[in-house]
Structure 1
């Protein structure tokens, strides 16, 4: 195999009759899914999509998304997985920036795609899932296209995918990944987590997200079964785990917090789980312990990013657990913690610094942006991740927080994740996010936005008193606000920098204690 486009064909040859994918409306064997991918590849070729051109996927999780992803790779195209939460303006930027020649989307989202401008080299093909739409080709009609499936061999170092960053400042940037990087990430992750053909994985991670991609294709690589949810719902996730006797559930911290708070948790059958994974954001150890006690399965932490096509650090499933650590580097990946003021130097042992990554998983660069690429990857090949971390003598990495999420209050650096970990230990707290609010004296104050567990009660003073002996005085949240929910990304990560905007309709709370 040279790239992820070879995975399904390889597995179908060995496990053709085994169930590959289960969604709400369709179950497919490896042979059936492989055949659908071939038909997509043939149809794209018939519609003039040439090798090296970009094909975008803009839709919620569904079986057709998976077929379109692998079919586009088989046609020799570069895949552009697009976040479904993008605004029309953001979508237009992504499609124009990567030169998308074809877009797979839902009938409901087709107008946004059609209004996003066109391919400068000719009309852009728009294919719709779930029924036809004006000026588009229905996916079912595409599958009926006659013609031989192309059998192209991918060059391992050639572009495979273009995944756009969240674009917290300016326009999103397209991280270009090679076929080797994407395939390696799936293979190494499957190895570290002990995936086998007997695994059944329940996940609601978005397929366009690199974590979701590795979960799905890493499972396909070994011949396991993926139970793919269109979007996350705590009660439904718990039901699916029991119904399909899932051996793994994989998600972000907020998903576990919501399942632990779900009324249906008491009656859920989680006995089939043998391990679970969590990534995307730091997770309080208290939440990890609660899930492990309830499920009876270890919860494996991991870390990754778009610029490395998925994971870079995780725990080996049979290694001794080290709660609070995201694990060790994947085989062949180098990591170091750099001085915050000068990333060419290592941070002193035990001191927080910026996490740096080097190796075959690092992106080829940002699409069409050599300046941004040079800022992200230094001359020695080290990728600046933007995460603040420490590393112990065994190579285990501990994430402190995102550098951009740091709150600077009165000259002190306050990391939201530290506050979140502490408040999450309170039995009344189901979910918590910490973000900055402006302050005329201190510059910024740390505000904790708390979602209470069903039926639980707590006051700001009570939570402040709970945090007091666990956090240094300057780290304690100066404001605590109770909210019904928290803003999240499409992958379920809490959007810390959006917390203030999300709740501006509420009066600004008074500090819980004097700074």
Structure 2
């Protein structure tokens, strides 16, 4: 069945050789994984700080873990929580749990105990997998006996490292290793799980089964779990692969610094990397010096990141002893997602690395990738690109009428395709609010599509600042601030205003050693923004709040402004 409509403007701009009307075959992640193991058995699969696994080795480990889960009673209907940094334990536990027929629930290892407990209760997680690292393990162990979590499987972090590094970690980083209870039957060791005989049972998984409960703030800001089926995730994997025809199966090396518990890395790095038969270069966290040293050692070809990550690499390269010209030359493609990519960051990174940096767009509810700039044809600056194969895009009126707008008219970005979630876990009303009967998902983002089908984001609907009846878009202000040579990071939020309703406030992080002050920034903005867009207040901070994947976070700053207003009453 073809889904092409001649009125779709992006068809005239579609990259040669990529069929927008492709229909991804519904599949399952365990079947995809086993196919990759069979095709690339002797190829390198994982590199964890110098220790390497081949596809055949990872395949056997996953089969053993799947049987270990099954012997613990984990199977269809079970919810397994993963609270892990990037390490070999993550793909083993992820594909092992799915192979056993369970649903995976991703947990952010940086979350505090209260956040972990609330998510575990909501998702009805009965078993957690966590590393023996402090403070992650104590927080996870604290879930025992206080909700549905009845068992915790503990992974020894040092055991996954190369021998000498593992020994050094045990000796020099002893304080980072958490104490594991020796006599608690609810606390299990990874070795016991991973030494079971390989599972022999047939696949108990169907494409329509929920593979992952992925938590997100969605368009309302309230944490809830998007139900991503095997069909959703394998469809998005196929879409991402189709969009990068220049990637050679079995020959690529993917830099895996984005955390796998985040949906962008889950699809674009882990699942797509395995599907390509690539070697995944795993880093447990982002440290610029370690990242650049890893690039020098492993020579990756693909690099997926968020804008602040690319900016941090640039800033580190500019320091004495930073990367020299040519050290990033192995990277042929970088894709930025998760947040708007400032034009200045894109240009500077491409100039420093010599590779192509393209901006894409996605959201948790769509597995997540929906649009991306073409890799091998026009990469339009400032745009999030064209719809991926099988993804339909409409710009609809902000009044909620559902009216589809013409090219050039700003409205809410809405998407439909086989990658769109089945709904929110046990939240039918919130599902109905964002997912229409026609299959289109309301993203909560304001965008505009041009006559060629390229989409440009203007801002989040919830971040829109209503100032004296006018729409003020924080991203517009932020883009201009990034043009100042001393600005490292900038975010703009709306503050309550008794006269205007709201006014924009800018929070800025400057380059170390900069003498630029708020007055200088105000002068810089004077001829670049209208009077209503210019921030009434500019605050310079040593650092700005960020999420676990490095995206700038506005919620803490909004809360700060609201608290300040209450104090003044």
Report TM bin, short chain.
over 0.9
Q: Does 1:38 align with 2:71?
A: no
- Aligned residue in 1 for 2:543: 485
CA positional deviation for 1:339: 0.2
In structure 2, distance between residues paired with 1:17 and 1:506:
60
CA positional deviation for 1:444: 2.6
- Aligned residue in 1 for 2:324: 267
Contact 2:144 2:151 in 1 (8 A): no
- Aligned residue in 2 for 1:254: 308
- Match among 241, 255, 260 for residue 207 of structure 1: 260
Superposed CA offset, 1:313-355 (max 9, x none)? 1123111110111111111111111100024111343121111
Contact 1:49 1:101 in 2 (8 A): no
Q: Does 1:152 align with 2:199?
A: no
Secondary structure at the aligned position of 1:474 is classed as: coil
Contact 1:339 1:348 in 2 (8 A): no
- Aligned residue in 1 for 2:31: 6
Contact 2:75 2:100 in 1 (8 A): yes
In structure 2, distance between residues paired with 1:123 and 1:292:
46
Which is further off, 143-152 or 154-163? Answer: 143-152
In structure 1, distance between residues paired with 2:373 and 2:381:
10
- Aligned residue in 1 for 2:151: 125
- Structure 2: unaligned runs, 5 residues or longer: 1-25, 158-178
Secondary structure at the aligned position of 2:448 is classed as: strand
In structure 1, distance between residues paired with 2:198 and 2:296:
42
Contact 2:100 2:204 in 1 (8 A): no
Which is further off, 87-96 or 167-176? Answer: 167-176
Contact 2:209 2:230 in 1 (8 A): yes
Secondary structure at the aligned position of 2:527 is classed as: helix
- Match among 233, 242, 245 for residue 296 of structure 2: 242
- Aligned residue in 1 for 2:448: 390
Higher relative contact order (CA 8 A, sep 6+): 2
Superposed CA offset, 1:124-182 (max 9, x none)? 22111227722311112211234634331521122111111137857511110111110
- Aligned residue in 2 for 1:473: 531
Contact 1:78 1:160 in 2 (8 A): yes
Matched ranges for 1:496-515 at <5 A: 496-501=554-559
Q: Does 1:105 align with 2:119?
A: no
- Aligned residue in 2 for 1:64: 89
Secondary structure at the aligned position of 2:98 is classed as: helix
- Aligned residue in 2 for 1:337: 395
In structure 1, distance between residues paired with 2:447 and 2:382:
12
Secondary structure at the aligned position of 2:412 is classed as: strand
Q: 1:265 to 1:391 in 2, by over 3 A?
A: farther
Q: 1:37 to 1:335 in 2, by over 3 A?
A: same
In structure 2, distance between residues paired with 1:267 and 1:506:
46
Secondary structure at the aligned position of 2:77 is classed as: coil
Matched ranges for 1:306-317 at <5 A: 306-317=364-375
- Aligned residue in 2 for 1:512: none
Using the size of structure 2 for normalisation, the TM-score is 0.84
In structure 2, distance between residues paired with 1:343 and 1:124:
47
Using the size of structure 1 for normalisation, the TM-score is 0.93
CA positional deviation for 1:452: 1.4
In structure 2, distance between residues paired with 1:71 and 1:382:
33
- Aligned residue in 1 for 2:476: 418
Q: Does 1:222 align with 2:276?
A: yes
- Aligned residue in 1 for 2:17: none
- Aligned residue in 1 for 2:229: 178
- Aligned residue in 1 for 2:170: none
Contact 1:340 1:347 in 2 (8 A): no
Superposed CA offset, 1:411-444 (max 9, x none)? 3222111111111111111111212233333333
Secondary structure at the aligned position of 2:240 is classed as: helix
Secondary structure at the aligned position of 2:202 is classed as: coil
In structure 2, distance between residues paired with 1:462 and 1:329:
40
Q: 1:5 to 1:404 in 2, by over 3 A?
A: same
Contact 1:19 1:30 in 2 (8 A): yes
Contact 2:496 2:562 in 1 (8 A): no
In structure 2, distance between residues paired with 1:42 and 1:360:
31
Q: Does 1:115 align with 2:142?
A: yes
Q: 1:372 to 1:501 in 2, by over 3 A?
A: closer
Q: 1:171 to 1:349 in 2, by over 3 A?
A: closer
In structure 1, distance between residues paired with 2:146 and 2:206:
25
- Aligned residue in 1 for 2:161: none
Secondary structure at the aligned position of 1:282 is classed as: coil
RMSD (Å), alpha carbons = 2.4
CA positional deviation for 1:2: 2.1
- Aligned residue in 2 for 1:361: 419
CA positional deviation for 1:506: 11
CA positional deviation for 1:4: 1.6
Q: Does 1:323 align with 2:381?
A: yes
In structure 2, distance between residues paired with 1:42 and 1:126:
17
Q: 1:85 to 1:123 in 2, by over 3 A?
A: closer
In structure 2, distance between residues paired with 1:216 and 1:138:
25
- Structure 1: unaligned runs, 5 residues or longer: 508-515
Contact 1:328 1:395 in 2 (8 A): yes
Contact 2:126 2:150 in 1 (8 A): yes
